[in-house]
C-alpha cells in the first residue's frame, strides 16, 4: 500500500505545506495531501478514503475529482505509509510536511527518510505512478475482406513533465530508471499550450520484448484506476499477437473488440479489481 500510494501521489498528487499556522482571522491552517482523479476513477478515490479511514472527496465542476486529507492524524498515517518509498523530487514536499508535523506532535517524531533506491520492479510504486501518468494503446490495420488484422502493435506510454519547482531536469533520474527497467530509450518533447512551453520525458514500449516486461510487472503489481481495464484489454491483444492468433478471424475480432473498449472508446466500467486493493 505504501509504495503504491507514494507512486500515485508523485504522479497525480500534491503535498501542500502552509508557511503560516493561522489565517488573519485566527483559523488554523493544516497541510493538505491532495490526489487528482479522472471522473471515472471516483470508485478508486472512495476506496482510498475507506482504506485510509481519513480525508474527503470533492467534485468540482469538470471531469475530475479530488481526494484530500487535512486532519493531522490522517496526514500522519499517510506520511508513515509513504516515507522512505518516494522516488521523485516531490520528496522535498514530504520532508516539509514531516517538519510541520514534528512541531505539532507530542508523542512521536517522524524521521524523514531518503529516496527509495530499490529496483523499479520490486514493489508497487510503479503501479501507482502508472495509474497517474500512463497510457495503453493498440494500433492495427484491419483487412475487412478477409476479416483479419495486420500491422498490429501494442504501446505502453508514460509521460512526465521535466521540471519541478523550476528545476528543468528534476525528474530525469526517475524517468531514466524506468526507461532502463523497461529496456527502452528515454525520450523528451516540447509542447506549446496557451503560449506556454511545456517539456516532458517520455517512456514508450512497442516491441514484444519490452511489452512483456510491462505485462509481467502489472501481472504482479496491478493498477487500481480504470487504466487497469485498459491494460487488461491491451494484454489480451499482446498475447494474441505473440501467438499469431490475430491472423485468424476469431483472434482478429477479439483484437478489434479490445481496441474499441479502451481509453476514450470505453463507456462501461467494472471495479472488481478493487477487491484486491493493497492492505
**Residues of the chain with pLDDT > 70: what percent?**
94
pLDDT tens, residue by residue, 107-129:
889 999 999 999 999 999 999 99
Statement: residue 202 has pLDDT above 90: yes
**Average pLDDT value for residue range 234-259:** 89
At which residue does the C-alpha cell 527497467 appear?
A: 181
Question: DSSP readout, 147-172?
Answer: TEEEEEEEEEEEEEES-BTTBTTTTH
Tally of CB atoms within 10 A around 9: 26
State whether residue 139 is helix, strand or coil. strand
Q: CA-to-CA distance for 195 and 202, rounded, in angstroms?
A: 22
pLDDT tens, residue by residue, 79-92:
999 999 999 999 99
Q: Per-residue confidence at 165, pLDDT binned at 50, 70, 90?
A: low
At which residue does the C-alpha cell 476479416 appear?
A: 147
Q: What pTM did the predictor assign? A: 0.91
pLDDT tens, residue by residue, 24-43:
677 778 999 999 999 989 99
- 89: Cβ–Cβ under 8 A, 6 or more apart, which residues? 164, 165, 167, 170, 171
- Which of 147, 151, 126 shows the shortest CA–CA distance to 138? 151
Tally of CB atoms within 10 A around 265: 10
Domains of the chain: 2-104 (3.10.28.10), 122-276 (3.10.28.10)
Residue-level pLDDT at 21: 75
Q: CA-to-CA distance for 183 and 197, rounded, in angstroms?
A: 29
Q: CA-to-CA distance for 173 and 211, rounded, in angstroms?
A: 22
Amino acid at each position: 500500500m505504501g509504495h503504491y500510494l507514494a507512486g500515485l501521489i508523485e504522479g497525480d498528487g500534491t503535498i501542500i505545506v502552509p508557511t503560516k499556522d493561522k489565517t488573519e482571522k485566527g483559523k488554523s491552517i493544516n497541510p493538505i495531501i491532495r490526489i487528482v482523479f479522472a471522473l471515472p476513477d471516483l470508485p478508486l478515490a472512495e476506496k482510498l478514503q475507506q482504506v485510509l479511514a481519513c480525508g474527503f472527496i470533492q467534485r468540482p465542476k469538470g471531469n475530475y475529482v479530488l481526494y484530500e486529507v487535512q486532519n493531522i492524524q490522517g496526514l500522519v498515517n499517510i506520511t508513515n505509509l509513504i516515507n522512505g518509498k518516494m522516488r521523485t523530487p516531490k520528496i522535498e514536499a514530504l520532508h516539509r510536511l514531516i517538519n510541520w508535523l514534528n512541531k505539532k506532535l507530542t508523542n512521536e517524531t517522524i524521521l524523514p527518510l531518503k529516496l527509495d533506491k530499490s529496483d523499479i520492479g520490486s514493489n508497487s510504486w510503479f503501479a501507482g505512478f502508472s495509474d497517474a501518468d500512463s497510457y495503453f494503446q493498440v494500433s492495427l490495420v484491419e483487412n475487412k475482406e478477409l476479416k483479419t488484422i495486420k500491422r498490429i502493435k501494442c504501446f505502453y506510454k508514460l509521460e512526465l513533465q521535466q521540471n519541478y519547482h523550476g528545476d528543468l531536469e528534476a525528474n530525469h533520474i526517475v524517468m531514466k530508471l524506468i526507461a532502463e527497467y523497461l529496456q527502452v530509450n528515454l525520450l523528451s518533447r516540447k509542447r506549446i499550450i496557451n503560449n506556454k512551453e511545456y517539456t516532458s520525458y517520455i517512456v514508450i514500449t512497442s516491441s514484444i520484448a519490452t511489452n512483456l516486461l510491462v505485462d509481467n510487472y502489472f501481472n504482479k503489481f496491478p493498477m487500481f484506476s480504470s487504466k487497469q481495464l485498459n491494460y487488461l484489454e491491451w494484454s489480451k491483444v499482446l498475447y494474441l499477437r505473440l501467438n499469431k492468433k490475430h491472423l485468424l478471424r476469431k483472434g482478429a475480432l477479439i483484437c478489434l473488440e479490445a481496441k474499441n473498449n479502451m481509453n476514450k472508446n470505453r463507456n462501461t466500467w467494472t471495479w472488481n479489481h478493487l477487491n484486491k486493493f493493497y492492505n
